[in-house]
């Protein structure tokens, strides 16, 4: 089977996120903030390792990355507020 670079990226990303979900389920982890943080780190790390992707694909992935970064920042702010209010 001969996959294009975009298809390889999607397969790797899917396998990585699915593996993380399975690991969270296996350990009984239920914190959404931890999942968002780990998923954001994984997506950004895989994106940095996938610099060979075509420009069109990188432009298509950029909004997803920004959405994850915004969600990560919101999680951090909420956690800081929780710590300070305790």
- Per-residue pLDDT reduced to its tens digit, 53-81: 888 888 888 898 899 899 999 999 999 99
Q: What letter would DSSP give residue 53? A: S
CA 43, 41, 55, 2 dihedral sign is negative
Residues listed for the chain: 86
Residue 31: both structure tokens together: 């914190």
Residue 48: both structure tokens together: 């940095």
Q: How confident is the model at residue 5 (pLDDT cuts 50, 70, 90)?
A: confident
Would you state the pLDDT for residue 84? 94
Q: How confident is the model at residue 22 (pLDDT cuts 50, 70, 90)?
A: very high
Asked whether the predicted pLDDT for residue 3 surpasses 90, the reply is no
């Amino acid at each position: 089977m001969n996959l294009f670079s975009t298809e390889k990226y999607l397969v790797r990303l899917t396998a990585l996120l699915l593996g993380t979900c399975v690991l969270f389920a296996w350990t009984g982890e239920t914190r959404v903030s931890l999942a968002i943080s780990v998923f954001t780190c994984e997506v950004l790390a895989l994106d940095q390792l996938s610099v060979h992707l075509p420009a069109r694909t990188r432009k298509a992935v950029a909004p997803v990355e920004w959405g994850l970064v915004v969600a990560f920042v919101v999680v951090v702010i909420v956690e800081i507020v929780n710590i300070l209010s305790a």
